[in-house]
Structure 1
C-alpha cells in the first residue's frame, strides 16, 4: 500500500497465537468504592463466562438495536460515554486490567447505565463465544503497542485474530483501531488492509489523522505517551 495517506512501513508481521496480548492485570490496590462495586455491581453487569458456551448478545439486552464491542476499554471513559450517547445499543467491554474494570464500574454507577456488560479478562475468549455476524461496531483504542521487536508477537492485531474478529462483524459493521505508536499503526494497517473482508474507509491522509466525529477523548489519550499523534484507522466489513 504505497499510498500518500499510509503511515510508515510496518515491522515484520508475526502470526497471532494464544499468548497474552496485555501485561499486568493490577497496578495498585483498588479504592474502597471500586472494590465494593466488584461485589455489588459487577455481578449485575458481568458478561456470562465465555468458557461456559456461546453468548447471545440479544439475550443480554432484549430489544437492543445494535451491539458494540470495545476491546481493552482502559478506565471505561470511552465505553461508558458511548453507552450514554447510545442507550439503544448494547455495549460489551473487555478489559483484563482490574483497576480499569473498577473505574468502569464507577462510571456505570454514576451514569446509571443499563446497556453495558463487562468482561474482566481476555477479549479473545469473548469473541470466540459470540455468534457470527453479531457485532455492529468494534473499537480497539490504544492497545498495548509492545514496542520491542521481540515482543511484537504479543500485539493483539495479528492475521488469525483479525479473521476471527471480522467473522463476528455484520456486513457494514465498522472496526476502529487507534494507536499513538507509529510502528503499531503501520503494523495494524498492513494486517487489517490484507483482509479481503475489510474495506479501509480512508480517502485521504486527513482521514487517519483526524478523530471520528463521535470519538471520545480519554485521559490516556491526553497524556500523549506514544511517539506520534493518534492514528485513527477505520475499516468497514464488506
Structure 2
C-alpha cells in the first residue's frame, strides 16, 4: 500500500464538500431508512467492491440508455428528467445526505421508477460504470468554490473530467449549468482538454436553457441575487 491509497487498495481521494447539514425531519429519516438501499445501484464503494467490478447497467435499468447527474442538489432536475424520459435510466450522484433525503421524498411523490441514487463521490461511481456507457451527463450549479486557491476542488478539473470522458459514449452530451462567470471560464478551458467539444455557434446557445430544462432552487437564488445563468453543451469526442 502506498501513501496515496486507502487500506482497501482504493486511491486516496480528497473530498471537500459537506456531507450533512441541518437535522433531518422524521419523514426524511424514514425515506433514507426505507428507500435508499433499494434505489442505490450497489457495488460502488471500495468496501463492497474492492475489485472494481463493473455495474450491471442492463440489469439495473432493463437495457435502457444510461444518463448520469452529478450533484443533484435537491433533486428537482433529476426527477423532472426521469418523468420526461421514462425510457431512460438515470443515476444521480450526491454526497450531501440532506439533498439525498429531499430527492427520496420527490421520488415517492412523483412515482418514478427509472432512477438510481449514489449517495457519495461521483468518482467512485465512475470507477464501476463500464467504459462508453453513459449517453448523457448533467452538472447543474455545482459548488463554485469561489476562492482562487480552491479552484482545484471544482468538478471541472481533469481528476473528474477524464473518468467522466471514459464512461461516456462517443457523441454523448455533457451539459453544464452555472451562474458563476469564473466557473464558465474554467469549464471552457478544462472540459475540451478532457476530450469534449463545445457545441455553441452563437450567444443564444449558452444564454438560453435547454428545451427540457427545469429551473432549480439554486438557479432561482442566482436570479434573485442578480447573477446570469449560463448553459453549456459539450459533445464527447
TM range (shorter): 0.7 to 0.9
- Residue correspondence of structure 1 range 101-120 to structure 2 within 5 A: 101-120=100-119
Structure 1 residue 227 displacement after superposition = 7.0
- Residue correspondence of structure 1 range 155-166 to structure 2 within 5 A: 155-166=154-165
What's the Cα RMSD here? 1.5
Structure 1 residue 97 displacement after superposition = 0.6
Matching of residue 55 in structure 1 with residue 55 in structure 2: yes
Aligned to 1:224, the other structure's residue is in SS state helix
Higher relative contact order (CA 8 A, sep 6+): 1
> Which structure 1 segments of 5+ residues have no match?
1-16
CA distance in 2, matches of 1:218, 1:57: 28
Matching of residue 26 in structure 1 with residue 20 in structure 2: yes
Structure 1 residue 27 displacement after superposition = 1.2
In structure 2, the residue matched to 1:46 is 40
8 Å contact from structure 1 (residues 180, 227) kept in 2: no
CA distance in 1, matches of 2:197, 2:218: 28
Instruction: Select 2:209's aligned residue among 203, 207, 211.
Output: 211
Structure 1 residue 193 displacement after superposition = 2.3
8 Å contact from structure 1 (residues 35, 102) kept in 2: yes
| TM-score, normalised relative to structure 1 | 0.88
CA distance in 1, matches of 2:226, 2:187: 16
| TM-score, normalised relative to structure 2 | 0.88
Structure 1 residue 61 displacement after superposition = 1.3
CA distance in 2, matches of 1:162, 1:23: 18
CA distance in 1, matches of 2:205, 2:139: 17
> Which structure 2 segments of 5+ residues have no match?
1-11
